[in-house]
Amino acid sequence: MSADKIWSNRFERKTDALMEQFSTSLPFDQKLFDADIAVNKAWAQALAAVGIYTAAEKDDICAALDSIQHDFHANALSFPAGVEDIHSANERWLIDRCGEAGAKIHTGRSRNDQVVTDLKLYLRDHNQALQRAVHSLQSALVETAANHIDTVMPGQTHMRQAQPISFAHYLLALFFQLERDRQRLKDTQTRCNTMPLGSGALAGAAFAVDRHALAAALGFAAPTENSYDATADRDFVNEHLYCCSQIMVHLSRAAEDFIIWSSEGYRFMEVDERYATGSSMMPQKRNPDSLELIRGKSARVIGNQVIGLCLLKGAPTAYVRDLQEDKEPIFDSLQQTIDSALIFAGVVHTLIVYPENMRKALDPALYATDVADYLVRKGLPFRQAHGIVGSLVALAERQGQTLQSLSIDIYRKQSTLFEPDVYSLFDPQASLRKREIIGGTGKKSVETQINRAQELLEL
Ligand code: ARG
């Protein structure tokens, strides 16, 4: 057999040099190395059970795989010439160490079922790592929220002041977004939990290996149901890409909030120096680069999602080499998303909050809804109450006044339902107290949310 490709005997000419570089996946699929060793061991065991290996050969193979794994991590191995990917590298190393027994390892197997099994194992680990990263950000959010139940800030819609909320309420909004993300990761894992090995190239292995035993050995719930589907399936990659995109979109929106609120116009908060950088030119600068990078990386992760979908849309069912292009996007998305969540957790843990600036920023117009509700409580239909308060706001604006500074006479001209107690509405805590509803920004509501959040973090 030629020392070139594992398939080179069928060929008369050598692969073009650029084609060689163009087609190799080794520079990136080395990330699958450990998964590939696990898959090889399980397959050796399965082959022994159907008589391809003697028990002694199987033991030799497993010992050789352990030593390859050791040497690989010690950087003591170099890639044999002509190997195209991590799967053929492992096979070559195994043949180098075990001779004929090594040459039997690919019996009944294809790189098509091998790569997809490796990838599912890799995703299982990284799915969990991403869940842990999201969990640590959620913990940082809940801890910070617990310190800011009484910190009132102007809640905004359309980037305009809307109604007072507590800073804790805002932070918990981020928590519950991320809780959906964490649940989504768990759910995605359930569909990733089927084992393709034994599917061969497309039609199923011609050796009666026990696929249930193989699935159990590799920690999967069950074997895949159809070999043609299993070797061509990358849905689980796309689902993970989506999990990453959705997390990054959440982080990017939150980063945008923090960047705006730490800017000179607001000064509600400041990113700690550990997560900020300076300017090479302007000595005064302290920029929130951690958050800007998270926002920037979200674009890259969304891009990866598009790659995953486009890869499949034109690919005929069954393995095609296009599918090799799934790896860089998914490896990149997982790494960027894990790092972004951990960096954001650091930003939140060390965040410098200025409650006084938040309080000072509260505009009396924030209480307009509470003023309308005051009339509603006295029996006026809401639409009419809304109209009356709208007129008062416009009047105040024309007179260079605020809703709070208008005299009681002016109020009473609009509606005799107004009494002097209307001015007690212009109090952020009073406004929050009215919102003790499930999910509201009232103090008790927020405490309930914190308790629920803590429970969810324990699950
Ligand atoms: N490196 C390949 C990939 O990532 C492995 C499978 C190759 N299979 C093949 N029939 N050429 O998809």
pLDDT of 1 above 90 = no
Q: Are 339 and 294 in contact (CB under 8 A)?
A: no
Question: How far away, in angstroms, is 12 Cα from ligand 1 center?
Answer: 21
Question: How far away, in angstroms, is 164 Cα from ligand 1 center?
Answer: 57
H/E stretch holding 195: strand 194-195
Residue 221 CA: distances (Å) to CA of 112, 195, 237, 381: 20, 8, 18, 59
Fold held by 364-458: Ribonucleotide Reductase Protein R1; domain 1 (1.10.40)
- How many other β-carbons are positioned within 10 Å of the β-carbon of residue 34? 16
Domain locations along the chain: 8-103, 111-360, 364-458
Q: Tokens 């804790």 — which residue?
A: 168
Q: Are 414 and 407 in contact (CB under 8 A)?
A: no
Q: Which residue has the higher pLDDT, 8 or 263?
A: 263
Q: Please confirm, yes or no, whether 158 is among the known catalytic residues.
A: yes
Domain formed by 111-360, architecture: Up-down Bundle (1.20)
Ligand 1 site, residue 324, Cβ cutoff 6 A: yes
Mutate to test the pocket of ligand 1, among 6, 19, 25 (most ligand atoms within 8 A of CB): 25
Q: DSSP label at 379? A: T
Closest CA to 114 of 46, 23, 188: 46
**Percent of the chain clearing pLDDT 90 (strictly above):** 94
Written as six digits, the tokens of 291 are 């958050």
- How many other β-carbons are positioned within 10 Å of the β-carbon of residue 204? 18
Ligand 1 site, residue 313, Cβ cutoff 6 A: no
Question: How far away, in angstroms, is 24 Cα from ligand 1 center?
Answer: 9
Question: Alpha-carbon distance 358 to 160, whole Å?
Answer: 14
Ligand 1 site, residue 111, Cβ cutoff 6 A: yes
Q: Which residue's C-alpha comes closest to atom 3 of ligand 1? A: 324
Atom of ligand 1 nearest to the CA of 86: 1
Q: Are 353 and 269 in contact (CB under 8 A)?
A: yes
pLDDT of 2 above 60 = no
Closest CA to 133 of 292, 330, 344: 344
- List the catalytic residue out of 279, 391, 405, 424: 279
* Per-residue pLDDT at 74: 98
Q: Please confirm, yes or no, whether 279 is among the known catalytic residues.
A: yes
DSSP string of 288-354, one letter each residue: -HHHHHHHHHHHHHHHHHHHHHHHHHTSPSS--GGGGGGHHHHHHHHHHHHHHHHHHHHHHHT-EE-
Question: How far away, in angstroms, is 389 Cα from ligand 1 center?
Answer: 68
Tell me the per-residue pLDDT of 367-383, one tens digit each, with 9 for 90 and over: 999 999 999 999 999 99
Tell me the per-residue pLDDT of 397-445, one tens digit each, with 9 for 90 and over: 999 999 999 999 999 999 999 999 999 999 999 999 999 999 999 999 9
Query: Would the pTM of this model clear 0.85, i.e. be above it?
Result: yes
- How many other β-carbons are positioned within 10 Å of the β-carbon of residue 183? 13
Closest CA to 323 of 243, 236, 246: 236
Question: How far away, in angstroms, is 111 Cα from ligand 1 center?
Answer: 6
Q: Are 28 and 328 in contact (CB under 8 A)?
A: yes
pLDDT category of residue 280 using cuts at 50, 70 and 90: confident
**Percent of the chain clearing pLDDT 70 (strictly above):** 99
Residue 276 CA: distances (Å) to CA of 134, 279, 291: 21, 10, 9
| Whole-number average pLDDT of the chain | 96
Fold held by 8-103: Fumarase C; Chain B, domain 1 (1.10.275)
pLDDT category of residue 281 using cuts at 50, 70 and 90: confident
